[in-house]
Structure 1
């Protein structure tokens, strides 16, 4: 068994890494959420506390990645994020605690596979093989209803939600990894802010652990966003896919071995 001090150190390190991973790719909650569970917090409260803690890291990431946003998509993305974030948070607080842990790995695995094959699927659907250099214009009215269920999921749990955003936008024809990353961070940031407000209003946050993780995640988010702009697009894509498979694999294992 880990000592109390070791648990705190693990929480700080996991939160720092989560903020950095969320900025550079997606799936940082894969690290920070288990660390919250390790502090002895029940799953729903651990998720609510983790969501509040990692949110500042997403805000600091947005400040670094704001020039990568697709301006014509920002308003539709924000509206979908607000509606979905609040709705997902309320679902989390109303449904049984074990439910979201059961469905989580299937959703993340599906998103990872979708992102892995998104370029091929996009070319096939849009017949872009004859014009591979032309990026299809993504319409705001198209992304709103498609983003809404993903934002609902982000408010509900969130781990891998950014990966789903990137997979969706890539499937619609957006192929610039820096733009995908910027839009992913925006949607995750606003969705989680909406969920944060809901969790606070419902008194579901364990503040003692939250403040510790919050500072670490904010620092990690700023550092991760800084280096995300320096990474080659192929490296970012590989990192996103690797994190997605790791996230889904971990929670499949956890569901099969609940004592671990």
Structure 2
């Protein structure tokens, strides 16, 4: 595989896709629907594309933790076990990904994209339901059962380490099932656990030398720029419309890869 970055149409599209991906992640999530296929489009092997994409977009996730610091204080007792579960799941998912055959993972790509798009579609009504549930219930919220939540978080974070797109909805649902009703607290725990699961997967990908840095570093810069402008303009946009744009984008990419395999 050629290890040099070419400033042709595909290279320009990779940087553009990373820029838009950073903006989408700041506004609604789902940036991987663009940046991951863009890496495949320039000839990067599927597993290296997933690893490189994860590393490139991770700094933008990490910086978002600060915005939820106050909401994390309400569930400090849960924070350590959930972080441990996220780390275990993220490492396991990353290791399994690197031991998957390239052709096997490529065959899974359209199914993974389709599942992620459906998760994004479901996240809007679930979030609306949680917001309705959380009104006036913060004080009487009962603590969730730790062991089932711990095991469930390992499973979800395994998926994050393996592929990850749309996993935020899975964490939101998991926390809601186990009794956390305040939407801000749920979002805070979601951001921390997804960032940690991706973070340990990032370490695995770097140690195993699966990251193509000549693409990754450029993507980091453009995604960060996109994230900055996405965050600035997100309040001016209809959040529901943006999420449906992401869903359509994910379904379109899934259809494209199904068509390529056909």
| Both proteins in one fold, TM over 0.5 | yes
Deviation at 1:160, TM superposition (A): 1.3
The superposition leaves residues 182-218 of structure 1 with CA deviations (integer Å, 9 ceiling, x where unpaired) of 3332222111111111111111111100100012223
| 2:253 pairs with 1:245 | no
Native 8 Å contact 2:205 2:211 kept in 1: yes
Native 8 Å contact 2:144 2:180 kept in 1: no
Residue 109 to residue 208, structure 1, CA distance change in 2 (3 Å): closer
State the alpha-carbon separation in 1 of the partners of residues 23 and 183 from structure 2: 17
Give 1:20's aligned residue.
23
Native 8 Å contact 1:17 1:220 kept in 2: yes
| 2:153 pairs with 1:150 | no
- The gaps in structure 2 that reach 5 residues or longer are 1-5
Residue 28 to residue 167, structure 1, CA distance change in 2 (3 Å): farther
State the alpha-carbon separation in 1 of the partners of residues 54 and 169 from structure 2: 16
Task: Give the stretch that moved more between structures: 97-106 or 154-163.
Answer: 97-106
| 2:36 pairs with 1:33 | yes
Q: 2:112 aligns with which of 93, 104, 107?
A: 104
State the alpha-carbon separation in 2 of the partners of residues 227 and 175 from structure 1: 28
Native 8 Å contact 1:65 1:225 kept in 2: no
Native 8 Å contact 1:104 1:251 kept in 2: no
Deviation at 1:108, TM superposition (A): 2.0
Native 8 Å contact 1:163 1:244 kept in 2: no
Secondary structure, aligned partner of 2:62: helix
Task: Give the stretch that moved more between structures: 94-103 or 76-85.
Answer: 94-103
Deviation at 1:225, TM superposition (A): 4.8
Number of residue pairs the alignment of both structures matches: 249
Give runs of aligned pairs for residues 204-215 of structure 1, distance below 5 A.
204-215=210-221
Native 8 Å contact 2:107 2:261 kept in 1: no
Give runs of aligned pairs for residues 77-226 of structure 1, distance below 5 A.
77-95=82-100, 96-112=104-120, 114-118=122-126, 133-135=136-138, 136-137=141-142, 139=144, 141=146, 142-172=148-178, 174=180, 176-225=182-231
CA RMSD of aligned residues (A): 3.3
Give 2:3's aligned residue.
none
Residue 57 to residue 145, structure 1, CA distance change in 2 (3 Å): same
State the alpha-carbon separation in 1 of the partners of residues 80 and 145 from structure 2: 8
Residue 231 to residue 192, structure 1, CA distance change in 2 (3 Å): farther
Residue 169 to residue 20, structure 1, CA distance change in 2 (3 Å): farther
